[in-house]
Structure 1
Amino acid sequence: MTKTFKALIAVLTLCLVVAGCGGSGGSDTGTAGNTGSGGSGEKITLSIWHNYSGDDLRAQTMRRLIDEFQQEHPDVTVDSQPIPTDAYRQRIQTVAAAKEMPDLFLTYAGSFTDEFQKASLIQPITDVLEEHKDWADGFLPGATDIYTYDGETYSVPVAMSATSFLFYNKELFEQNGVAAPTTWEELLAAIEKFKAAGITPIELGNQAPWVAQSTLFGVLADRVTGTDWFMKAKDGNGAAFTDPQFLESLKYFKQLVDTGAFPEGANSLDNTQAEQQFIQGNAAMIMNGAWSISNWAAAASEEQMNKVGITLFPAMPNGLGEANTITGGPGGGFVLNANLEGEKLKLAKELFYKLSNADAQKAIAESDSMVMYNVEIDESKVTPLFYEAFNLVKTLQFSPVYDLYLSAAGGEAVNNGLQEIMLGGEPASVAEKLQTTQEAATGK
């Protein structure tokens, strides 16, 4: 068990004593210890946790699919717990510390799922893939690799993680005589021009510290260091986060901070607030993921959407990485509690398939959300911005999102380190902390 899980055990124990830790509710939760009717006539309760709590089209689609499953299984009680994204990771890690997992829950690709698999908290769904071969063959190459351990697959993505689009306000760019930046120098020049006009250059809501890393720094750093270097550094295999190229990446990020690229108090704003500020025309640019398109499609006007342009983060001076990349890859997927068995396991697999099958992938894509599935979407059902992004991604390669590949502690170190830099911290100190933390977590 990792240090992260051990550290959370005490917190969970206290929560359970005081208030039940906000779990699936009461003793009839349908979690690991309650395996359902099994012939007793007792109604089965199936618990599912996810982060589809908002009003964006993807969240609405996923909740609709869960509701449909409930209607199709009137003898089953589906206990669906939507938890806001910024709180979701902590909630799941907290219950994992005491091995009190929901029956199904949304996980994230990479180190997040690695922790559950290593702790034997989840079980494979390989048999579901084998049972539905046509569906399994529809995933894009590599889509399930990150969810496969020792030949067994534990999940499939219900999203494509494309985290670092550069969205820009075409009207503000035209009014100020600025073109979409393709180089670092052009980006800095654009920042200065918008600052002079009293316009926030790059909107950012980094209250949850993953945002700056996942949407901006990761792609900036990859442009500088190249992906091969990062893969070696995370494993302690001939590279380290104290190497000059990574320190240079942090200095570039600090340069953005020092030039006033971001709004004042960005560490106190959440990502939703930042998205709203941008779509309302109060900022020239925002670095964000494909999820923003789904959010805006649900809440913004057609006029606001038509003002949004989409491009990639610019090339970096003397960078060793590819310019035609976006951070991301397979997105989140559902996993099954390792303790499920019998009729309850069968029902959980049915719900898993309901939320992940070809029809679900198409419905998700047509809710203005990227998927790692070979699906044809009806252009009339999505916004022009999503259709443009959908086709742009087809031309790109993926580079790593840092906190999906680092250890849990390493991910926290880089995320918190970027917040420190935004508050005046020094790149060298952040690099040293990240290296020390990752070494301790990996033993290398």
Structure 2
Amino acid sequence: MKIKWTKKIGTSMLVAAMIAVLSACGQSNNADTASGQSGEAKKEPVVLSFMTTWSENDPFTGVYYKNAMAFQEANPDIKLDIETIPYNDYPVKLSTTAAAGKLTDLILMIGGGSTFEQIARSGALMPIDDMMGNWKEDFLPSSKIKEFNVDGKQYGIPGEVSYATVIFYNKKIMKDAGYTEFPKTYEAFKAMVKDLKAKNITPIAYGNKTGSVLLASLLSPLNERISGPDLYAKIKSGEQKFTDPDFMNALKDIKELSDMGAFNVDLNSIDNVQATNLFLSGNAAMYIDGSWGVKQISMDKAADFEVGFAVFPQIEEGKGSMSTMPGATNQGVVLNAKLDETKKAAAEKFLQFMYSEQSYQNIIRSGNMVPANVEAPADIDPLFKEMTGALGDVKEVTPVFDIVMPATVVAATKNGLQGLTTPGGSAPEAVAEELQKELGQ
């Protein structure tokens, strides 16, 4: 009996022990499950859809793509769902997507202008005025980002700025002709042009085959220097006309320069590349183009070719200023008006990163000027750095003609300017009347 009793006790103890172990395991599994369902679980990232042209291997937008990837790496709690659209297809895609009410969370605006303004006024975009405190005025002047402002509301911040008019000049030719510094007034500039021509030197190389170069780099600065920055807005509103003295005087100035032999005779049959080569071969004292022209000049110039840089001179009694430059700002990201608070906070973080001092310095390294006041990195192209220094006093960007005017008016202006600069061609009055007709006022 004793033996049987002992075995029964032993068996009972074994069963009890097994039950205890299983119970403990069950409690452990339940605890793990409860822990997995608690607030300690990994939080899903906020996903921001983004329609853009930025591409890693694109020579123009690669720097923006890389900056965006750096943001992604630094912020694993935010995921960018990027849809890259080819540049030439982007304007149509943007317009159709906006019209259908299917804009992504983040939207690239290549530049300002009528399409952007139309989308902003439709209510599809979110103003970022409540975020602008992230960028101080001395870092990002409001006068340089106003192209992304519509009806007093800021919708985006541009990544870069392109100035439409930079006067590149051959330092040796100028020095040999007796000019140790570039003229500061338009009258002195014209006197220099006449002097150079008298010495059998082509004063200015231009490549206006498409008609757009004279429009952007000569008509636009003349309009600003004569009339100030608001002329185009006044013409579009009907407050002024193309046939009024302000605009007419700019046309007359271009005609005068052409008649005095300021340009190469084939300016309307060669392009920018050919005009640059004309300048770099020493066959012209100056070359006028946008700030982007420095890239080709830097690549193609001879080692001993010395380039100088100047802004368009002041016109006596004009309403404009040498601290203002016609140009365009671009590569700005805007926000969908439908973002909830979580996505808005993530988007604000993205904008802060993309338009920070470090990101702007990366953009400068890629050979582009920026609207922000940041120190140029030491490792950039020396000629590009010299140009940024020469343009350092520019405080305001004013619109270029072809950005703000209707396409039919732009086309007529290109034709008119080619006519003005062709011997025996159009008269300023005839060009102005045609433009007013195209404007429909």
For the criterion TM > 0.5, the same-fold answer is yes
Match of 2:117 in 1: 114
Structure 1 gaps, min length 5: 1-42
Contact 2:55–2:65 (8 Å) recurs in 1: no
Q: Say whether 1:224 aligns with 2:226.
A: yes
| Range 426-435 or range 63-72, more displaced | 63-72
Q: Say whether 1:240 aligns with 2:244.
A: no
Contact 1:159–1:331 (8 Å) recurs in 2: yes
Residue aligned with 2:203, SS: strand
Contact 1:226–1:322 (8 Å) recurs in 2: yes
Residue aligned with 2:268, SS: helix
Q: Trace 1:116-155 onto structure 2 (pairs within 5 A).
A: 116-119=119-122, 122-125=125-128, 129=132, 133=134, 138-149=139-150, 152-155=153-156
Q: Say whether 1:303 aligns with 2:307.
A: no
| Range 196-205 or range 217-226, more displaced | 196-205
Q: Aligned-pair distance for 1:215?
A: 1.4
Identity across the alignment (%):
26
Q: Say whether 1:49 aligns with 2:49.
A: no
Q: Aligned-pair distance for 1:363?
A: 1.9
Match of 1:407 in 2: 405
Q: Say whether 1:259 aligns with 2:263.
A: no
Change (3 A) 1:225 1:183: same
Q: Aligned-pair distance for 1:353?
A: 5.2
Contact 2:159–2:330 (8 Å) recurs in 1: yes
* Structure 1 letter corresponding to 2:204: I
Residue aligned with 1:362, SS: helix
Residue aligned with 1:381, SS: coil
Q: Aligned-pair distance for 1:168?
A: 0.5
* Structure 2 letter corresponding to 1:164: T
* Structure 2 letter corresponding to 1:303: A
Change (3 A) 1:125 1:82: farther
* Structure 2 letter corresponding to 1:406: V
Using structure 1 for the length normalisation, give the TM-score: 0.69
* Structure 2 letter corresponding to 1:167: F
CA distance in 2, matches of 1:267, 1:345: 49
Q: Aligned-pair distance for 1:169?
A: 0.8
Structure 2 gaps, min length 5: 1-46
Structure 1, residues 119-158: CA drift from partner, whole Å, max 9, x if none? 556544556656xx25788312334444233564221021
Residue aligned with 2:430, SS: helix
Contact 1:53–1:82 (8 Å) recurs in 2: no
Larger Cα-atom Rg: 2
Change (3 A) 1:319 1:65: same
Q: Aligned-pair distance for 1:308?
A: 0.8
CA distance in 1, matches of 2:145, 2:120: 15
Contact 2:232–2:401 (8 Å) recurs in 1: no
Match of 2:217 in 1: 215
1:327 paired residue among 317, 322, 325 = 325
Contact 2:144–2:395 (8 Å) recurs in 1: no
CA distance in 2, matches of 1:198, 1:373: 42
Q: Say whether 1:431 aligns with 2:429.
A: no
| Range 358-367 or range 44-53, more displaced | 44-53
* Structure 1 letter corresponding to 2:214: A
Residue aligned with 1:142, SS: helix
Match of 1:15 in 2: none
- After superposition, the CA RMSD in angstroms is 4.3
Structure 1, residues 276-321: CA drift from partner, whole Å, max 9, x if none? 5434544321222322334544x245726x61111232344x5423
Residue aligned with 1:332, SS: strand
Contact 1:120–1:338 (8 Å) recurs in 2: no
Q: Aligned-pair distance for 1:399?
A: 6.5
Change (3 A) 1:93 1:265: farther
Contact 1:207–1:269 (8 Å) recurs in 2: yes
* Structure 2 letter corresponding to 1:116: I
CA distance in 1, matches of 2:83, 2:175: 50
Q: Aligned-pair distance for 1:251?
A: 1.3
Match of 2:173 in 1: 172
Contact 1:219–1:327 (8 Å) recurs in 2: yes
Match of 2:17 in 1: none
Match of 1:25 in 2: none
